[in-house]
Structure formats: structure tokens, C-alpha cells
Homo-oligomer: A and B are copies of this chain.
Amino acid sequence: MPDKSQSNIDKVLSNLAENEGAALERLFNFLRIPSVSTVSEFAPDCQKAAEWLAAQFEGLGFTASVRQTPGRPILVAHSDEAGPDAPRVLYYGHYDVQPADPEELWTSPAFEPVLVDGPVGKQIVARGAADDKGQVMIWIEAFRSWRAVMGKLPVRVTVLVEGEEETGSPSLKPFLKEYADELKADVAVISDGNMWDVESPSITTRLRGTVYTQIKLRTARCDLHSGLFGGVARNALNALTQLLGGLHDEQSRVQLPGFYDDVPELPDELARQWAALAFDEAALLSSFGLATPAGEVGRPALERLWSRPTADIHGIWGGYIGEGRKTVIPAEAQAKISFRVVAGQDPQRVVQCFRRFLDERRPADAQISLEVLGMEPGIEIPSDTRWMRAVRRALGDEYGKEAILGGCGGALPMVGALKGILGMDALLFSFGLDDDQVHSPNEKFELRCFRQGARAHARLLAELGRAV
């Protein structure tokens, strides 16, 4: 048995290699669709991306449908050819991408994918190359080659690809509730994020959540002349910078009252495991043109990235930002501020902490309104299940070394929803790299990661078929 399946998987891997050119063409077509979810004018492109995927799955013998939501549509597809006794696996991904701005910083247009030479081989450059279109196509190609060689998939597969991941997936939870019976599976598989490095596979067992807010600060009822009234009238920008300048102390600890109350310390064993990785923070920083670590002074880098909460200002605007000089005392200023939260922190309570921060430090004559644009809690995933063992074998065979049980600083709302609503664990293993510049100009996905990602997913199919 092992030998036969071994030879089978080899055939599947060979088929992947033979068809890589065609696979890249398919990915490029997907990347050419500007399916930006944060800006409403791109809604038609999101619809188009979902329909493009539906066609892909129908071509693979799935029954596929594009389901409308209050926001962007969700693609659902099913394959039952493995028969009623085979386990059912839910594959999740997202077709939506971040805005391309600032577009002038792209070396080639964001939605015109190109192959360029990089330090570890060819790179696929386009918005969404790594986050997440490239990592959806790797398992689609694994399905394709498996079926080409073996005739049918070894497990029953349900696919859910959403279009609101970059906006906090507002429609996802209601959708999972409405279609719970249809979507329920034995386990979920997700590739959306980074691996440890191009040679070292990793499985994500913890994710930080997000509390995303926007504040507006008002002082006078209108803008005023800074010459005539400077020294008497309150300036909204002086006030806002004073307020937000106090978000962190000298140790870079977030100053929201009670912010750290529910933040658990990392278990010693995990702390040792992470320390053993000897993460080279200096190298990461220098790849960004930076030299000095930000975040809590005295904490190891991996804790600051994976198990500690943060506060970041994403955007700020107010006053006169046009050409030349305008001597005005602005009456209004706004900012987008988010907090990364970890398992244990209640997002609702973090909002209360921020309200207290704003109330206690509110400058004189400043009216502050707080809007919450989204909340997702932090998450931890159990690392020793039969399914997790299957993923470890698949990754171990592909890369010739044990997969790292790590964390991810970013949120994946789907993981929490799967557990909470469908009672399913998620197998989170991804193939992006830290320098892929997701959410930034010139996002890329290494061709090598695309190739080995597809191979690892093919190996997982074999393991899952065995794992009954």
C-alpha cells in the first residue's frame, strides 16, 4: 500500500511539473481581476473573480455556485466523487485583495502580473500574488493534477472562497450559520500567510486579532486664521498629535488603561521552541531599511510578532494638505488606529480601554467621536490532532524537515468562525515569505513557493486519504 500510494503521489507531482506553465497562465488571469474589497467601486470585479473561480471548479468536476451576500459574493463548490465514506475537507481562501495605492510606487502595474528574476528564482509580481490568490491556486492545481493522474479526489471536498477577508469578513459568519449543514466538514485547510522561510515549512497555531477604529477630533466650529487667533484658539491637529503621541510610553508599551490585563504570558516550552529558531530580527528590519526594533522593549521579536498586542496608526488627516501655505488653525482632524489583540483579550473590552484612554486624555475643548470599523479576536489552534499530523507529514516529506509550530501576527477571521460556528479545527499552513510585501506596492509570490505549495497540497491529499 505505502509503495503504491508513494508511486501514485510521484505521478501527481510529475503531472504538476509538466503543467506548471498552464498553471501560471491560470493564476495570471486570476490576478488580472482587480478584486479590491475595501473600495466599493471594485464590487463588479469581486463578482467577476468569484465567477472565474466557479468556472475553475466546474472544470474539476465540482458543483460550484456564486452566492450573493450583503457585501461581496462567496464562492462555494463541492466534490463528492470520493464517495460517502471518505472524509470531507473544507478548503478556504479569499479572492479579494488590498487597494494598490500608492500606485506610483509599483514598478509594474498592480493588476498586470509579471514574472521577474529574484534572489531565490523567479517571482510573480502583482497585487494578490501571495495574499491570497496565489495560495488559492496552489491547492486548485493540486486537485487538478491529482484528478488527471488518479481520476478522482481521495477525499470529499467543499470549497469556500470569500471576497471580504481584507475588510474583516462581515458576511462570513452569517453565511456559515445559514449554510452550516452544507459547509460542515471533518477539518478545514487554509493557506493564507507566510512560511518560516523559503526552505522551512511552518504551521500556524496562533493568530492575532484586530480592533480597528477611526476617531474624529473637533475643536472650534470652523477653521481659524492662525495669525489672528494663534495663542488663543485650540488647534485640532495640535490636540490630536498630543493625544496619539501618548499611545505608547518610552518602553513602547501601549498606554490604554487595562490593555494588558488579559494578555497571557507565553508557555515556557513554546518560548524555548521559538527562542531556538534564533529569529534574525536585524535581517528582517534591514530588509525594510530599518535598524531599530519597534514594539515592547525587552520582549523577544517572535513574542512581539506572535503573542503580544500592538497599537498602530494607519492613517491621519486634517487641516490644509494642498500645495503651498495655508495659515489655518484646523477645527477637525481624523485618524485610523488599530490594535492587534491576542487570544485572551476581549475585543469589546479593548474598545472600552481605548474609550477610557480618549476620555482620560481628552484635550480641553476637544470633542472626540470613536467609530469601530471591525473586531476579530485573537486565536489559538490545538496542534496535536490526526489532521495536524497529516499536514506535518505532507510538509515534512516535501521539505525534508519538521514543520515549525509558529504564529502569525495577522488575523484570519475564518479560523475563529470555523471553530465557533462549525466546531471545526483549521489546518493553517502557508507559503508566503516575510518579504512578499503583501498590502504594499510590488507584492510578490516566489515561483518556488507556488511550486512547492502545490506539491505539498498534493501530498496532503494523499495523507488525508489515508487519515480516515
A residues sitting closer than 8 Å to B (CB atoms) are: 38-40, 98-99, 101-102, 105, 166-168, 193-194, 208, 210, 212, 219-235, 237-238, 240-248, 281, 284-285, 288-296, 301, 304-305, 308, 310-330, 333-336, 338, 340, 364-365, 373-374, 408-411, 434, 437-442
Contacts and interface: CB of A to CB of B under 8 A. Distances in A.
Given A231-B304, A232-B304, A245-B242, A319 B314 contact: yes
Contact of A312 (B221, B238, B305): B238
B288 A222 contact: yes
A116 B342 CA distance: 58
Contacts of A321: 315-317, 334, 336
B364 A292 contact: yes
Given A319-B316, A321-B315, A225 B438 contact: yes
A320 B340 contact: no
B327 A228 contact: no
A337 to B, nearest CB: 9
Nearest to A437: B222
A410 B327 contact: yes
Contact of A295 (B231, B335, B340, B439): B231
A320 B231 contact: no
Nearest to A309: B231
Copies in the complex: 2
A284 B232 contact: yes
A235 B313 contact: yes
Contacts of A295: 230-232
A305 B440 contact: no
Contact of A241 (B229, B247, B314): B247
Contacts of A320: 99, 101, 314-315, 336
A332 B439 CA distance: 15
A431 to B, nearest CB: 14
Contacts of A324: 38-39, 167, 373
A360 to B, nearest CB: 15
A224 B288 contact: yes
B437 A289 contact: no
Contacts of A210: 227, 327
Given A226-B310, A233-B285, 8 more contacts: A167-B325, A231-B340, A237-B315, A241-B247, A242-B248, A312-B329, A325-B374, A327-B338
